[in-house]
Amino acid sequence: MEQQTPLSPTTSQDDNLKEMLLRYLRYWPWFLLSAVIAIAVAFLYVRYSPKLYQTNTQIKILKENESGLDLTGLEGAGAVFDMNKVNLQNEIQILTSRRLLEDVVEETGMQTRYFIAGNVKTVERWKTEVPFSVRWKTADSILNTSGPVGFQLRFIDAETFRVRTLDTEPSLTAEGTINEAVALNGYAFQIVLKPGAQHSGKVLADTDYLIRFQPKNQVINSLVKNLQVNPIGDKSEVLTLGLQGENPVKNEAILNNLTYQFNQDGIKDKRLVSERTGEFIEERLRLLFRELDTVESGIVSYKEENKLVDIEANIAQLFTKEGAAEAKRFELETQKAVAQEFQSLLNEREDFSLLPANLGIESETINTLTASYNDLILQRNKLLVSSTKENPLVVNLDEKILETKSNILKSIQAYIRSLETSLATVQQRESTSTGKLIGLPKKEKEIRTIIRQRDIKEKLYLFLLQKREEAALQLATVTPIIKIVDFAYTKPNPVAPKTRIVFLGAFIVGLLIPFGILYLRFMLDTKINNKEHIKQLVQPIPVIGEIPEVEKKDAVLLRPDDRSITAEAFRILRTNLAYFKAAGKEQQKQAQVIYITSSTKGEGKTYTAINLASSLAAINKKVLLMGCDLRNPQLHNYIEKDKQAFGVSSYLYDTSITMDDLIIPQVLGISNLDVILSGAIPPNPAELLLNGRFETLIDQAKQHYDYILVDTAPTILVTDTLLISQLADVTLYLTRANYTEVKLTAHIKEMYEQQKLTNMALIVNSVDDKKGYGYNYGYGYGYSDAQPPAWWQFWKR
């Protein structure tokens, strides 16, 4: 049996995409409704959710040469501090340390928070934005509470107020008077009106205030979490401090106070080093004063004992050269003495204590190492405030401190050895000059020795006096360690919620929700949908018709003059059927036998058969519609005949019955349309169909009719149709949209590929146009009498 090729080419990928888009766009009202609802929810969220504002401030960490006092104009003076290298990571750790933030919390009073209660949301206000302040009684346990404590306060008039607890069940209530203590739930506090608010009782009475007290640790933890400190660049010494919060005034107050506390902390460190240096110098001055006094007294006593008043003039020239050598030796001995004193101090001091800086040692290496040692000691002390000695950072600093101290000792030892070498050379030159003075009186030489000792002590004393003045001046003129680049400033627009992103996200979600629902619905849909759907599943079986869905009450025989969408669908089916006739058939004018079958019952075989027959009769073709579903006949219901009337089963069983006995002429008043019913249900329909009488009946009908339409039994349930399939010229196989399972297409393809049915073509019945399937026959061209639904009836469109 020759199979017919499909009538249309395979659907392209672009057509599939277009069909898929149209399938979703058919539900555009739901997309629109979902998007509107999502945007409305987004509007309510943006309107009533707390708004967060970003506040920033910028500070520059100053080096010593940018902020300290320049003392280089004094002889032997140098910088007491050396901060040429700024480690921003260390400064960031200090800025975010709990020790510093605790000072900020205490200074700003952040533990007490004020709110104004609204109908929908509660807004936080800073201390300067409320007309009163709360003073907690220090004797009360409020300061040591482990959790937040809340009260609602409402003014009755300008002098009295009512307060109730927020965290107890049931709530406790009390009344109080301005400036007088009130106790409630074990907590005592005092409400104090700010200047200018004493006479605004009516205004105060219209507002509900919420007061919350939080433990210090909770406030510090929140501040640590929200505070952002970042450098503006790799090579920059400017830090940006940021804070997000609901109240811009509060954010600015916190950041400004944080920069103040950080600056004060740095100033304290500077003063501490200056104070330690001053203490060391004072101690050395007292010792030198006693030694110098002893030497002066010795000179006086020696001169008195030996009656020496003046040195002879002729000796002065002899001592000129010796004096130059002595001066150099004095200088070297002074340096050696200071270095030895500093070495002794370094050995006697504990490992992790500050050292005096720049004592006059003319060794840049020792001075630089001493300054670095002090910086490391300061960093270690700051870390120990909020951590233990086992902290890796502290251990690392300890190693650096000990290493630096060792380097200082080595540098001092090397410097002393260098001084000793220079001193030996000078002493050798001095010995040469001294040899010329051997002839001097012994007493004169001894007095010179005593005077030289006095000069050494005197120079050292004067040197330390100068250093004491430098340290005192440095202590009195300690300058800030930071420069405020920008004071705390809050951006006018909130950073959260981000209105544009929220609305865009809501719009996208509003579209995705119906899309997701439809996607799941389509994905879980296991039924055939429309003509294009089944084409993809059963290629290359041709699909020659698509019949729209009709209400059950409208599923009746269509009249020849009917101009409905359904009638047009059957006319198109009739036209396609004419083209589908076997192209190689020799007798083109011979009557056509058309089987109408399906996989299961309920797919519309009988409805399609009777209306196709009516459509063929309308073009003046003699049509015989024969019911051949011997097990579950339905044709009699459409023409209102008795189910037990003579029919095919009667003809097959009783040889005395002729075809003329079975024919019901001009059914429902339609000329050229005759019907033969299925007849009474026999016990053995398969055997009856094989007794040869059915073939005879078909042959007789061909002599009188142009078309013979046979309403047969479903193929997947019974074998009746397959037993007589060779008698058909065309087999129209019915599927029903949203009813026929996709898995049945395998059975349909098997019937086609194994040629169990002759010249097979498919029809899709009951296509639901509300789901975007079908072609809407008659719409847009004014041909059909049917009117489209109104625009708001989108479920019927």
- Report the range of poorest mean pLDDT among 348-362, 609-623, 679-693: 348-362
| Position 180 pLDDT exceeds 80 | yes
The arithmetic mean of pLDDT across residues 608-618, rounded, is 91
* Predicted pLDDT at 553: 56
**Strand segments (E) across 423-494:** 482-490
* Predicted pLDDT at 360: 75
For Cα atoms 623, 627, 633, give the angle at the middle one, nearest 5 degrees: 150
Distance CA 616, CA 570 (A): 9
More confident of the two residues 712 and 304? 712
* Predicted pLDDT at 791: 52
| pLDDT tens digits, one per residue of 35-73 | 999 999 999 988 888 889 999 999 998 876 544 444 444
Q: Which of 755, 756, 587 is nearest to 3 (CA)?
A: 755
- Give the model's confidence band at 405: pLDDT under 50 very low, under 70 low, under 90 confident, else very high: confident
Mean pLDDT of the chain: 80
| Position 302 pLDDT exceeds 60 | yes
* Predicted pLDDT at 556: 65
357 CA to centre of own chain: 51
| Position 198 pLDDT exceeds 60 | no
| Position 74 pLDDT exceeds 60 | no
| Position 571 pLDDT exceeds 60 | yes
- Give the model's confidence band at 104: pLDDT under 50 very low, under 70 low, under 90 confident, else very high: very high
* Predicted pLDDT at 596: 94
The one-letter amino acid at 145: T
Look at the block and give the residue holding tokens 């087999």.
731
Q: Which of the listed ranges 300-314, 377-391, 443-457, 778-792 does the model predict with the highest average pLDDT?
A: 377-391
- Give the model's confidence band at 141: pLDDT under 50 very low, under 70 low, under 90 confident, else very high: low
| pLDDT tens digits, one per residue of 631-675 | 889 888 888 888 888 889 999 988 899 998 999 998 878 888 999
Distance CA 396, CA 717 (A): 87
| pLDDT tens digits, one per residue of 317-339 | 556 666 777 777 788 778 888 88
| Beta carbons within 10 angstroms of residue 524's beta carbon | 7
Q: Could you tell me if 716 and 745 are in contact, meaning their C-beta atoms sit under 8 angstroms apart?
A: no
The one-letter amino acid at 33: L
Distance CA 361, CA 365 (A): 10
| Beta carbons within 10 angstroms of residue 25's beta carbon | 10
For Cα atoms 265, 266, 272, give the angle at the middle one, nearest 5 degrees: 90
| pLDDT tens digits, one per residue of 217-235 | 999 999 999 999 999 887 7
| pLDDT tens digits, one per residue of 515-536 | 999 889 888 888 888 888 888 8
More confident of the two residues 367 and 726? 726
Residue 613's SS3 state is helix
Going along the chain from its start, the domains and CATH numbers come out as 1-49+499-524 (no CATH), 112-214 (no CATH), 272-475 (no CATH), 569-581+590-733+747-758 (3.40.50.300)
For Cα atoms 297, 300, 302, give the angle at the middle one, nearest 5 degrees: 105
| Position 84 pLDDT exceeds 60 | no
Query: Alpha helices, DSSP H only, in 362-441?
Result: 364-386, 392-435
| Position 75 pLDDT exceeds 50 | no
* Predicted pLDDT at 539: 86
φ, ψ (nearest 5 deg) of residue 607: -60, -45
| Beta carbons within 10 angstroms of residue 493's beta carbon | 10
**Tokens read off for 773:** 């399937």
Computed from CA positions of residues 245, 248, 253, 257, in that sequence, does the dihedral angle turn out positive or negative? positive
Residue 236 is classified by DSSP as: -
* Predicted pLDDT at 673: 92
Dump the DSSP string for 115-143.
Answer: EEE-SS-EEEE-GGGSSEEEEE-TTSGGG
Dump the DSSP string for 615-638.
Answer: HHHTTT--EEEEE--SSS--HHHH
Which percentage of the chain shows pLDDT scores above 90?
22
The predicted model scores a pTM of 0.58
